[in-house]
């Protein structure tokens, strides 16, 4: 393996397999002081491998350096801002991690008897109550493991509710700006999806909505603020239109961090909604780690909630399974408990005032970025921004530079890219959500980078089109990588066969 030293060594790190040299070891064992056992005899010959093909043979320090160098390729919230929109990659206070690791909570077992789980059950009860208060809803289940899972639970509740009235109905209405999980959810629960168009301000067109709601409509799934970062200001009228025909209103609460402490879905006509605790209430987000998608409902949907439900009996918490109208369980045990602990710690540390301030700061930060970038990038909708702002690449596209190119160039400035090409209804979308945690100094750095890139697009578009320049690999063929992933390493051809 020849390593070129023309680049920073951490950026030049090969695969571990490529570091291998025959006979090298990363460990040393003492001589056996007991008789040797034949592994084939002990384990059965079929369980013993002669050798592992191409197993890397490396020293300890090579292993340590290899993985340490790889770790520097990673981008994390501890390194810098995640401007991704629609999914709130916020910084999560470290103290919540400490709380989640409290011994009694960490080692609690879901099969522990109720009498020994009263503390954990109290945490669940308090979090349910806090989320009910924040959303203005009557009851909450913490079972669903993520937002999409919460959506499915919520739409199942709507189906159970309609079934209890004799007819599950046929359709779920979904605005064209919705997250892809919404139509997927409605379809999985057995509904047909009917799309509704957004108007030129990025909001649901109320007149066209009114013209299609009939008694076949089971409900509307609406995200508020929606995925273009705009508050559906006619939401009360929209809910009224649905309710008049006996339909339900589901709110995708992934953007709840624009509303917490300011307004409550329960007060503007929502019947059922989910929250993403890993977006709004402090759990490390991304990388496929655990999340939680609690579902909050109005009282008419409460009988259908998943079992078990918490019930208080003589000052003790009990699990109640005796609920004849329940949709059943949606998950083993009681939810991702560690995530629930973090969320409650976050909520209690902030208190009502603090949560409201976090929301106001998130809105301020998004609008600060919007104002500073508006002279350089085209804002998608002339409507007030909430916690995120959506630009399009219209101006840069005239120079042949698209949203994906600008995002790649941001990497050279040390920032994680913003959300590229979502929502789909905005051509060349550039979606930015700073969250409340970023300081003005950090926001200024980010804005400076984007302004600098806008100037590069005018003066030297090639620089942007070929970005990133500072990473080990620049552009990859993303389509082929997704369609034909190569997941197994194969040794490179022998030097004599190789072209260079």
Ligand X SMILES: *Cc1c(COP(=O)(O)O)cnc(C)c1O
Residues that bind ligand X (CB under 6 A): 86-87, 146-148, 179, 181, 223, 227, 252, 254, 276, 291, 293
Alpha-carbon separation of residue 194 from 87, 217, 425 (angstroms): 24, 9, 16
Shortest approach of ligand X to residue 129 CB, angstroms?
Answer: 22
Alpha-carbon gap, residue 34 to 27, rounded angstroms? 20
**Of 177 and 396, which has the nearer Cβ to ligand X?**
177
Which one, 358 or 453, has the nearer CB to ligand X? 358
Q: Which of 291, 417 has the CB closer to ligand X? A: 291
Indicate the burial class of 142 (C-beta count within 10 angstroms; 0-12, 13-18, 19 or more).
buried
In the complex, minimum distance from the CB of residue 255 to ligand X, in angstroms, rounded to a whole number = 6
Shortest Cβ 448–ligand X spacing (Å):
28
Nearer to ligand X, 58 or 196 (CB): 196
Closest to ligand X by CB, 93 vs 290, is: 290
Q: Is 332 exposed, middle or buried (0-12, 13-18, 19+ CB in 10 A)?
A: exposed
Work out the number of other CB atoms within 10 angstroms of the CB of residue 16. Answer: 16
Nearer to ligand X, 254 or 406 (CB): 254
Q: What are phi and psi of 313, to 5 degrees?
A: -140, 115
Cα separation, 53 vs 490, in Å, equals 10
- Closest approach, Cβ 305 to ligand X, in A, equals 19
Distances (CA, A) of 242 to 172, 236, 275, 380: 11, 10, 22, 28
- Cα–Cα distance for residue pair 344/340, rounded to 1 Å: 6
Give the shortest CB-289-to-ligand X separation in angstroms: 11
Question: Closer CB to ligand X, residue 88 or residue 248?
Answer: 88
CB of 492 to ligand X, least distance (A): 38
Q: Which of residues 383 and 464 has its CB atom nearest to ligand X in the complex?
A: 383
Question: Rounded to whole angstroms, how far apart are CA atoms 405 and 179?
Answer: 23
Report, in Å, the least distance between residue 291 CB and ligand X.
5
| Tokens found for residue 127 | 């979090």
Q: Considering the complex, what minimum distance in angstroms separates the CB of residue 10 from ligand X?
A: 31
**Residues facing 311 on adjacent strands:** 318
At closest approach, how far in Å is the CB of 148 from ligand X?
3
| Rounded least distance, CB 367 to ligand X, Å | 20
CB-CB contact of 25 with 485 (8 Å): no
Of the two residues 289 and 491, which places its CB atom closer to ligand X in the complex?
A: 289
User: For residues 177 and 437, which CB has a smaller minimum distance to ligand X in the complex?
Assistant: 177
CB-nearer residue toward ligand X: 363 or 453? 363
Residue 166 vs residues 155, 160, 162, 163, 169: alpha-carbon distances, Å: 17, 10, 7, 5, 9
Task: Quote the least distance from Cβ 175 to ligand X, whole Å.
Answer: 11
Q: 162 near 321, Cβ under 8 Å?
A: no
Q: Give me the least distance between CB of 279 and ligand X, in Å please.
A: 6
Nearest to 125 by CA among 316, 303, 323: 316
Enter the tokens of residue 61. Answer: 């320090």
Which CB sits closer to ligand X, 279 or 408? 279
Distance CA 238, CA 236 (A): 5
> What are the angstrom distances between the C-alpha of 216 and each of 153, 166, 297?
20, 13, 22
Q: How far is CA 468 from CA 111, 377, 392, 431, in A?
A: 51, 20, 20, 19
What distance in Å separates the CA atoms of residue 498 and residue 111, rounded to the nearest whole number?
59
Type and span of the H or E element at 130: helix 118-135
> In this chain, which residue has its C-beta nearest to ligand X?
147
What is the smallest separation between the CB atom of 396 and ligand X, expressed in angstroms? 25
Q: Return the exposure string of 226-258: e unless at least 16 CB atoms fall within 10 Å of the residue's CB, then b.
A: bbbbbbbeebeebbebbeeebbbbbbbbbbbbb
Compare residues 179 and 402 and give the one whose CB is closer to ligand X.
179
């Amino acid at each position: 393996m020849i390593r070129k030293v023309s680049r920073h060594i951490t950026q030049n790190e090969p695969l571990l397999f490529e570091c291998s040299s025959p006979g090298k070891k990363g460990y040393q064992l003492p001589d056996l002081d007991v008789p040797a056992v034949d592994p084939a005899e002990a384990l059965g010959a079929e369980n013993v491998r002669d050798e592992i093909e191409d197993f890397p043979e490396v020293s300890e320090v090579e292993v340590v350096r290899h993985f340490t160098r790889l770790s520097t390729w990673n981008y994390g919230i501890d390194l810098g801002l995640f401007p991704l929109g629609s999914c709130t990659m916020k910084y999560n206070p470290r103290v919540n991690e400490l709380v989640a690791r409290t011994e009694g909570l960490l080692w609690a077992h879901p099969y522990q008897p109720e009498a020994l789980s009263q503390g954990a059950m109290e945490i669940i009860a308090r979090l349910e109550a806090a989320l009910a208060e924040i959303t203005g809803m009557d009851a909450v289940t913490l079972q669903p493991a993520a937002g999409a899972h919460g959506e499915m639970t919520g739409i199942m509740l709507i189906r159970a509710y309609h079934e209890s009235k004799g007819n599950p109905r046929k359709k779920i209405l979904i605005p064209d700006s919705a997250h892809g999980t919404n139509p997927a959810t409605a379809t999985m629960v057995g509904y047909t999806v009917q799309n509704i168009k957004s108007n030129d301000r990025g909001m649901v067109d109320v007149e066209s909505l009114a013209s299609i709601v009939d008694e076949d409509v089971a409900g509307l799934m609406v995200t508020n603020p929606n995925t273009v970062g705009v508050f559906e200001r006619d939401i009360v009228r929209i809910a009224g239109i649905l309710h008049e025909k006996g339909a339900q209103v589901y709110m995708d609460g992934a953007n709840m961090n624009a509303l917490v402490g300011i307004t409550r879905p329960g007060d503007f006509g929502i019947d059922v909604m989910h929250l993403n605790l890993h977006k709004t209430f402090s759990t490390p987000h991304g990388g496929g780690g655990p999340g939680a998608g609690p579902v909050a409902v109005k009282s008419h949907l409460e009988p259908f909630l998943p079992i078990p439900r918490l019930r208080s009996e003589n000052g003790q918490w009990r699990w109640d399974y005796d609920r004849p109208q329940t949709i059943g369980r949606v998950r083993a045990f009681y939810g991702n408990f560690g995530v629930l602990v973090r969320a409650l710690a976050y909520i209690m540390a902030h208190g009502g005032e603090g949560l409201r301030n976090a929301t106001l700061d998130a809105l301020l930060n998004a609008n600060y970025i919007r104002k500073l970038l508006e002279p350089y990038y085209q804002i998608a909708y002339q409507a007030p921004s909430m916690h995120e702002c959506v630009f399009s690449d219209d101006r840069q596209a005239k120079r042949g530079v698209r949203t994906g190119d600008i995002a790649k160039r941001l990497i050279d400035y040390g920032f994680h890219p913003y959300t590229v090409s979502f929502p789909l209804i905005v051509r060349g979308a550039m979606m930015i959500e700073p969250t409340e945690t970023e300081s003005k100094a950090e926001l200024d750095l980010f804005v400076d980078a984007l302004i600098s890139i806008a100037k590069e697009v005018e003066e030297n578009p090639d620089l942007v089109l070929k970005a990133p320049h500072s990473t080990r690999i620049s552009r990859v063929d993303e389509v082929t990588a997704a369609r034909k992933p190569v997941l197994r390493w194969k040794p490179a051809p022998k030097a004599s066969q190789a072209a260079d």
